[in-house]
Structure 1
Amino acid sequence: MPVATGASTPGGRPTGQSPHSLLRTVRDVADDLAADALGRDRAGRPPTDELARLREAGLLAALTPPGPGRGADWKTACTAIREIAAADSSVGAVLARHYGYAWSARLHAGRHHTGLEEESVRAQWLWTGAVRGSVPHDGTEGPDLALRPRGVGYVLSGRRAVDTAAALADQIVVDAVCAVTGDVLVVRIAPGARGVTVETVPDRLGQRVAGAGEAVLDRVTVAPGQVLGRRPRDAESAAPVGALADAAVRLALCHVGLGIAEGALTEARDLSRSGRGHRLPGDPDLLLTYGELASAVQTATAVVGRATAATAQALEAGAHRDSEEAAGVAALVANAETVTPKAALLVSTRVLELGDAPGLDRFWRNARVLTAHLPVAQRLRSIGEHYLNGPHRVGAAAFG
């Protein structure tokens, strides 16, 4: 699924760059972000300036689903997310949710929404979202937002926590229950729409520049064109492509966790090489530590890479992918979700033993916040069910 070439944003930047060209732009942006990452982390302000950098570089338009003359394929986009996250994981998380939720119309509706995707590219929309799992699990609740029919559309009310760019995004994707039919619909809303207010989250432990907040929705009008699709009532009724919508966003966030581990290890290595670490570069114990940490990152990279390749194939196949194959992809993503947090937390914790450079703790804080609410035990049970009883017993939605 190659990246197309030729289209441009209103500012003249290409939206369908080759993978090599796109990643070169990404590395330039990552270097720019890394230069002042510590100061911005300490300030903890919403990512207004950071989004201006991304737009100026054309990344919001480039990191969208591929189409004629636009967008980026899944593998290239995930590489870009990881590169940015290694420099600044808050901005990496913003891009991860942007790219994952930009696929929402295509995955939830089961067909291309060409007009919507082209508009997103032209306007350089920033996407974010807070869609809950396909199927409620023990100890969890269903959607806390309610839709009521009004005319040809709906009105939407309730509250929903949004982890990135809550007040700055152009489109927020959420799921909500129709009060009349009981259907769970996936819809998009604009933070600036009438009836939408966003309460920011101050003084976060980590991911301070991600722009987290809570969207408060008071009878917000939802037009028919804002309804992206319908969520399944249970795992058995989930369409294979639609069931991958959750997995796609979660896998993109795995690349953020991997970026944190890589960024922490690189910064610690630079510290040790410069002689500013706690031990000399040739110390056998130091070499053992770096061997353990590098091995943990490489293991996580392999697991995440396998899930990324499988997801890319599934997205390319689209509606031709059957339910058992989709369940296999979801299982690989769940594996990535169990391995990546361990690597990110291990590396970001152990590097604190290697030196006391200012800001080295931010990697641990960011990893902790990114993974704090990840239901690892739930994922492991689903993986176990899939392994023990086969994909015919576990649909992809069961991993949500």
Structure 2
Amino acid sequence: MGVATAPSGRSGSESDRTGPGRAHWLRVARETADDLATDAVAREQAGKAPFDEVSRLREAGLLTLLIPAGLGGGGADWPTAYAAVRTIAAADGAIAQLLSCHYLLSWSVRFFTEPAHTAEIEQKSAAEQWCWGGGYAHRPLTLTRTAGGYALDGRQSHATGVLVADRLAVRAVRADTGESLAVLVDPSRHGVGIHGDADTFGQRLAAGGSLEFDGVPVAADDVLGSLTVDEAVLSPLAALTSPLRRLLSVQLRLGMAEGVLAEAREYRGAGPSPWHPDHPAGSPQDPQVLTAYGELTVLTRAASALADQAREAVHGGLVRGEDLTYDEYAEISVLVAMAEAASSKTAQESTARALDIIGARSASSRLGFDRFWRNARTHALYEPVAHQLRDVGDYYLNGAHPAFTLPV
């Protein structure tokens, strides 16, 4: 399939499918992940803003993957983007989170903007290889009408990718009307303050930080469109931006789980097994190791199968376009919620128990196995799944539709 149908009227037509193809992008993602894996431990421990890592994504062409080929992009679809994120996450979960945020924000303009304007933005993003950061936070900024357009003021406490972004996508409320709007901001504009104050113990290379805006000039063309969540206004198709984003989180978690298990499998330590001193750490002859790998493999494969179902459902909803119904949206949203819960458990168990499989040597900072656990745990704190489980229960017990939400 080509680029999925969007409210702007662009469909997955043949003209969008003139890019290199899925096999090419999967190979590029694999090569990029292998490159990131070579120095993942050193980069994570250094904790520098990931300008170099973004350059690697840019040189590989991954930043423009979802932009139609006719506009200078990769012409790929969302299933391909999900696969790329998961592959990168197996090597570096933080860079995969940064890439996920970029994909969502750069693609979401299709939900807010007229087709011609969308094409202009995507074409410029492709030509200049923009990396997008920010997010549509619950506490919006303030947009005030001026003679030349608007002025943006306020503070956003945390957003992904902002330390390295070429463009920021944020949420602001018009001071005169109270309407919530998506706004595109050039971070080099006077009055934009970006602070690397996230200081998290995991996902340290996701370039997170806080934003401050002090009378930042915003042109009318940079106001992308409405972010209302009123069901009377928001179509089921537009509401798919939320499960679409949440499915990125699912792929991120599964990539982390697969990455730590692969690294633990490849590691051959000289120390004793934690259960059998006569076997080396991680020995394939150790029955406890075999059992642990068996359990974690089953857990990961089960979550992966559920994620595949959710991916097909989301993509099917996008292809249906404006024909998507509220009932179909609810079914898709609940399926994604189930995948979220399964992937969250998988990531946290796999990244924690892999340390036990390796044994005491996994505590070595030089080996860096702890980064998987810290990344997965940090992501779980920012993306809790308890409310998603409640949505699943309410849907199956009472037939209640999950609330319409937009991604933050």
TM-score scaled by length of structure 1: 0.88
- In structure 2, the residue matched to 1:135 is none
Distance 2:328 2:113 in 1: 19
Q: 1:224/1:320 Cα in 2 relative to 1: closer, same or farther (>3 Å)?
A: farther
- In structure 2, the residue matched to 1:228 is 224
Is residue 96–residue 252 contact of structure 1 (8 Å, CA) maintained in 2? yes
Is residue 16–residue 62 contact of structure 1 (8 Å, CA) maintained in 2? no
- In structure 1, the residue matched to 2:174 is 178
Amino acid across the alignment from 2:19 = G
Amino acid across the alignment from 1:124 = Q
User: How does 1:22-171 map onto structure 2 within 5 Å?
Assistant: 22-64=25-67, 70=73, 71-109=75-113, 113-132=118-137, 142-151=138-147, 153-171=149-167
- Higher deviation after alignment, 161-170 or 185-194: 161-170
Q: Which runs of 5+ in 2 are unaligned?
A: 4-11, 273-279
User: Structure 1, residues 335-390: CA drift from partner, whole Å, max 9, x if none?
Assistant: 22222111111000001111124111110000011111224222222222222333
Instruction: Select the residue among 231, 250, 260 that pairs with 2:256.
Output: 260
Q: 1:248/1:336 Cα in 2 relative to 1: closer, same or farther (>3 Å)?
A: same
- 1:180 shift after superposition: 1.5
User: Structure 1, residues 208-255: CA drift from partner, whole Å, max 9, x if none?
Assistant: 111111011112122221122212243454211221223222211221
- In structure 2, the residue matched to 1:384 is 393
Distance 1:290 1:65 in 2: 41
Is residue 31–residue 87 contact of structure 1 (8 Å, CA) maintained in 2? yes
Distance 1:206 1:111 in 2: 39
User: Structure 1, residues 69-101: CA drift from partner, whole Å, max 9, x if none?
Assistant: 743101011001110110111111111111111
Q: 1:232/1:291 Cα in 2 relative to 1: closer, same or farther (>3 Å)?
A: same
Is residue 160–residue 215 contact of structure 1 (8 Å, CA) maintained in 2? yes
Distance 2:390 2:403 in 1: 13
Distance 2:129 2:158 in 1: 20
Q: 1:38/1:5 Cα in 2 relative to 1: closer, same or farther (>3 Å)?
A: farther
Is residue 15–residue 62 contact of structure 1 (8 Å, CA) maintained in 2? no
Amino acid across the alignment from 2:323 = H
Amino acid across the alignment from 2:61 = G
User: How does 1:315-334 map onto structure 2 within 5 Å?
Assistant: 315-334=318-337
User: Structure 1, residues 19-61: CA drift from partner, whole Å, max 9, x if none?
Assistant: 1111111111111100100000110001111111111111112
- Higher deviation after alignment, 279-288 or 80-89: 279-288
Q: Which runs of 5+ in 1 are unaligned?
A: 8-13, 133-141
- In structure 2, the residue matched to 1:286 is 289
Amino acid across the alignment from 1:388 = L
Amino acid across the alignment from 1:288 = T
Q: 1:79/1:290 Cα in 2 relative to 1: closer, same or farther (>3 Å)?
A: same
User: Structure 1, residues 102-141: CA drift from partner, whole Å, max 9, x if none?
Assistant: 1111123475722211221111111123213xxxxxxxxx
Q: Report % sequence identity.
A: 39
Q: 1:67/1:346 Cα in 2 relative to 1: closer, same or farther (>3 Å)?
A: farther
Distance 2:241 2:91 in 1: 27
Superposed CA RMSD in Å reads 2.7
- In structure 1, the residue matched to 2:9 is none
Are 1:397 and 2:400 an aligned pair?
no
- 1:149 shift after superposition: 1.7
Instruction: Select the residue among 310, 314, 317 that pairs with 1:307.
Output: 310
- 1:16 shift after superposition: 2.4
- 1:15 shift after superposition: 9.1
Amino acid across the alignment from 2:395 = H
Distance 1:318 1:55 in 2: 30
User: Structure 1, residues 171-226: CA drift from partner, whole Å, max 9, x if none?
Assistant: 22111222221111111112212211101036431111111110111121222211
Is residue 105–residue 135 contact of structure 2 (8 Å, CA) maintained in 1? no
Q: Please give the secondary structure, in 2, of the residue aligned with 1:103.
A: helix
Are 1:250 and 2:258 an aligned pair?
no
Is residue 303–residue 343 contact of structure 2 (8 Å, CA) maintained in 1? yes
Distance 2:394 2:384 in 1: 16
